[in-house]
Amino acid sequence: MKKITNICCIGAGYVGGPTMSVIAKQCPEIKVTVVDLSEARISAWNDENIDNIPVYEPGLSEVVAEARGRNLFFSTEVEKAIDEAEMIFISVNTPTKTYGAGKGMGADLKWIELCARQIARVSTTDKIIVEKSTLPVRTAEAIRDILANTGNGVNFQVLSNPEFLAEGTAVPDLLSPDRVLIGGDQTVEGKEAIQALVDIYAHWIPKDRILTTNVWSSELSKLVANAFLAQRISSINSISELCEKTEADINEVAKAIGTDSRIGSKFLKASVGFGGSCFQKDILNLVYISRSFGLQEVADYWERVIIMNDHQKKRFAHNIVKDLYNTVSGKKITFLGWAFKKDTNDTRESAAIYVADELLNEQAKIRVYDPKVKEHQIYEDLDYLNTRKPEENKEQVKIFEDPYRACENAHAISILTEWDEFKDYDWQRIYDNMLKPAKIFDGRNILDAEKLRSIGFKVTSIGVK
């Protein structure tokens, strides 16, 4: 198979945008076009002010600035890009279904199917289709079936190339990944397609880090990787509650078990709970797939990871109510952080949303400061829950661009995102301007509790009595 010179990526979100930007940077001889139906999103990617690109990731703006206009392009001309490309990445949203069979667990693949049908209709030359979105195992079979039966007689090869990047460290993850996984058919044509994608990544990634499998193993590996990582978080969070009852310190427990080489220290940080677009969605997908094959015990096992995570968020909110004398009605509670983790503006499944919802149901007044999340996104997150009317959310929730103003006259502060800047605040100034007793609920265990207590704060940390 000839070398790839023209790539199209359908979907300009948190995966498509950064991934294609890095490919364009590392492969200047390949034209990379990222397309999306959202004119606003594409306009933001093309903004002259590089700091206004829609995805915040440390280092990403520099990567985009280097390649944009040279061999990296962002466009709404979807069909033109599909027609010209030799390789097409599908990187569209695959949310959990909110309707029909599999509601609340299965992945909604309507956007994947629409992409496949559009590719089949537009294509007049042979193409390699690459699944970049996280998909249920055997999705490639459906894509292949659509392409074969609705196309123009051209040949398609379907590959699975799941992303393993972590938001907040996406650029270094893409530039120096632990591994790149590529799955495809084990036919002559399939192996040629796999090699074409291997050759692209080999521009900057050692070949021993590029793993090739059959397409089904690749699809399932992504779900399982996220499930294992989320399982560790839920496991340590379950122990955090036990620590609070026994006077053990979760940080000391985590350090003790993390030094065991068989376990390791990563993903053992107790917190208010995991969020993001992948963990919950992928585990629910794994649960649904397991149940569809009659594997009830397997499904129940993985579902407990989600149940534990939901419990941790509710427990954190209930502890705030309890420590504020069993009522937060009319009280001002400041949220420092709204993104689901630091160094990203992504709020999908952020713990902050659900903690806020619990407290708003108790008639609290919420104030929010996040260094990267825009005001409209915070309101959209709350409105999406459909718990209250949008005007009620705007009445009860106020957004601030200055953290010190957000904390003025507050009854309590909740740390919901582990932004590094929070550690460096003038906490004496914040204390002086809060209602007393001034309380901090550190949902990410990032602050120096002893230092804050010496100022006068009452500090509650996860997993510490």
CA atoms of 70 and 87, how far apart (whole Å): 19
Catalytic annotation present for 342: no
Tell me the helices (H) and strands (E) count for the chain, helix number first. Answer: 18, 14
- Per DSSP, the three-state class of 97 is coil
Establish whether the linkage from the previous residue to 437 is cis, with ω within 30° of 0.
yes
Which of the residues 57, 86, 131, 163 is marked catalytic? 163
**Tokens describing residue 113:** 């199917």
Q: Which of 87, 80, 67 is nearest to 17 (CA)?
A: 67
Distance from the first to the final alpha carbon of the chain: 63
Q: What is the CA radius of gyration of the chain?
A: 24
Q: Which of 131, 268, 296 is nearest to 197 (CA)?
A: 131
DSSP state of 419: -
Do residues 365 and 396 touch, judged by C-beta distance below 8 A?
yes
Do residues 432 and 352 touch, judged by C-beta distance below 8 A?
no
Do residues 67 and 31 touch, judged by C-beta distance below 8 A?
no
The kind and range of the H/E element at 395 are helix 390-396
Catalytic annotation present for 163: yes
Residues paired with residue 461 on neighbouring β-strands, in sequence order: 442
Which of the residues 222, 269, 341, 365 is marked catalytic? 222
Catalytic annotation present for 278: yes
* One-letter-per-residue 3-state SS of 146-168: HHHHHCCCCCEEEEECCCCCCCC
Which of the residues 8, 115, 278, 407 is marked catalytic? 278
DSSP E strands: which ranges in 351-401? 365-369, 397-399
What are the residue numbers of the active site?
A: 163, 222, 278
